[in-house]
Amino acid sequence: MKYDFDVVIIGGGAGGLFASSVANTLGAKTALLEKKRLGGDCTWFGCMPSKAILKSASVANLLKRHSKFGLAVEDNFHLNPSKALMYVRGVVEEISTHHPAEVFEKRGIKVIFGPPQFIDKNTIEINGKRLTSKKFIICTGSHPMIPPIEGLSNIEYLTNENVFNLDTLPQSLIVLGGGPIGVELSQALNRLGVKIYIVEMMDRILFREDKEVSQILENRLKEEGIQILTGKKAVKFIKKDSKVYITVQDKNGDNEEVAAENVLVAVGRAPNLEGLFLENSGVEFTKQGIKVNPYLQTTNKDIFACGDVVGPYMFSHVAAYQAQVCVRNALFKRPAWQKVNYQNIAWATFTEPELAHLGLTEEEVKDRYKDVKIYKTDYANSDRAITDSEKEGLVKIITDKKGNILGAHIVGAQASEIIQGFLIAKSLKIRLEKLSNPIFIYPTLSELVKKTAAKPLVEKLNNPLVKLAMKILTQPFLLRRDALK
C-alpha cells in the first residue's frame, strides 16, 4: 500500500516538535498535526508562564529583603505587582515565536492545524480530509485533572490554563494540591501579595520527594506566610458573599472550613485522548493514558506514543527523550529498536529554595537495599552560598556500598543546575568519589558537588588499614624532616 506519509505526529508540544524534526532529518516524509497551536502545555500554560511568574515573585521578594544586603531605601517604598501577569504573558508570547509553523514547513514538514481523529489503523481525518501514514506517533499532552468534589463545578475555579489570564490577582486563594504545580504557584502568588492556603490530601506536600529535603522547603513556605493543610481531603465547595468556602476533612472525619476569594485546582494531570477515536485505530487506553510496551509501541504495531499520554513522568524533557525513542523505533528496523530507560530521570521544583530530584529517595532506598551510604553537605559550607545569602539548603547523596549513586536530592539555590553533575555521574556509572577529582571553579555553588563527593574519600582515609599504609608511605619523608631539625 502507498501511504501519504512515512510518519504522522499528532500533537505539537515538546514531544511532537522534537519527533517531527528528527523524523524529517532522517529523511521521512513527515506531517505534524496540532489541534490548536504549536508549543504545547509547557509553552502556553506550564513551564514558561510558571517560571516567569516565579521570577517576578523572586524579584519582589529580593526587593523586600534589601536591608539584608546592606541596602536602604531612601524614600517610601511600595511594591505594586499589578503588572506581573502582563509580564508573564509577554514572556509566553516571545517564547511562542521560537517554533512557528512556517519554519517547520520550510524544512519539508507538513503542518496541519485542526482536530484529528482516527478512521482506521493507518488513516486519520483532519478538517474533513483523510491522510494515510505508514507510522504514527501520538503525543497530545495532558490537561488539568478536575476531581469530582461536591460544588466544585459550580465555581469558576482556576487552573494553570487560565490563572495567567487574570487581569488582577485575587486577595486570597485556596490551592487544591501540594504537588509541584501547586507549590510553585503558591509561593509565587504569595510573594506577590495573595494570601495562600494549600490543601493537600497526603500527609505532606511534595510527597514524591525525599522527606528530609522537602521538609526544608515546606518550612520556608510556612515562614513566608503560606498556610499548609496536609492530611486534609476536600469534600465540599460552596460560593457565597463573593467568597469560596471549602470544607476539608481529616483522617478522623473532623471537618474544617476555609474561605478565600477563589480556588486553584492543581491535583494532577489527565491525558488528552478525547476526540482521537483511538478505538478505531486498535490502540488500547485507559483514563491514565495509552498502553505501550518498553519500545513505546501501542497495541497497534504501527502507532507509537510518548509524553504525558504515556507517562510515567510528565515533564517536557522526558517527552523529548521518549519522542527520540519513538522516532527510532517507528523508522528503523526491529534490530535497531531501543527500549525506554527511566533509571536516570531527574526533575526540579523551581521554588525558592529550589528542590531537585534524581533516582531513589532515602525512604525508597531503605526498602530495596541493605547496605547504603548517605552523604550530606549543608549549603552553609559553601562560601558562595554565604556571599549570596543562600545558606539554607542541603545536598543529599545516596550510594550503594561500592559508591554508585542511587539517589541525589538537593534543596537550595540553583539546585536544578547543581544536580546535573550528579545526573551525569549516575548516567555514566561514575562513582561519587570520582567527582572530587575535577578542579571546580571557585567560588561557585557547584563546589557543593565536589565537597559532597570528597566525603567517601575522607571515610577511606579514616580506615585503620589506609592510615597504616599512609604512615608507611610517608615515613621516609618524616625521617628526613626529623633529621633536618
When the pLDDT of each residue in the chain is averaged and rounded to a whole number, the result is: 94
Which backbone phi and psi does 173 adopt, to 5 degrees? -155, 135
pLDDT value of position 82: 87
Same domain, 136 and 159: no
Whole-model pTM: value is 0.93
Burial of residue 118 (number of CB atoms within 10 Å: 0-12, 13-18, 19+): buried
Read off the pLDDT band of 71 (50, 70, 90). Answer: very high
pLDDT, tens only, 47-64: 999 999 999 999 999 999
pLDDT value of position 481: 60
Same domain, 443 and 432: yes
Give the residue among 37, 118, 148, 47 at the shortest CA–CA distance from 416: 47
- Number of domains present in the structure of the chain: 3
The full DSSP string for 61-90 is: HHHHTGGGGT---SS------TTHHHHHHH
Same domain, 315 and 387: no
> Could you tell me if residue 481 is inside a domain?
no
Same domain, 236 and 290: no
Q: What is the CATH number of the domain that holds 306?
A: 3.50.50.60
pLDDT, tens only, 378-391: 999 999 999 999 99
pLDDT value of position 462: 76
CB 356, CB 410: distance < 8 Å: yes
> Could you tell me if residue 457 is inside a domain?
yes
Q: What is the CATH number of the domain that holds 395?
A: 3.30.390.30
Pairing of strands 346-349, 354-359: antiparallel
Give the separation between CA 477 and CA 460, rounded to whole angstroms: 22
Region of residue 177 (left: phi > 0; alpha: psi -120 to 50; beta: else): left
The predicted model gives 361-377 an average pLDDT of 94
> Could you tell me if residue 108 is inside a domain?
yes
Angle in degrees, CA 8, 11, 13, rounded to 5: 130
Q: Is 447 helix (H, G, I), strand (E, B) or coil?
A: helix
pLDDT value of position 375: 98
Same domain, 182 and 242: yes
pLDDT, tens only, 179-193: 999 999 999 999 999
pLDDT, tens only, 220-273: 999 999 999 999 999 999 999 899 999 999 999 999 999 999 999 999 999 999
Q: Which domain holds residue 443?
A: 346-461
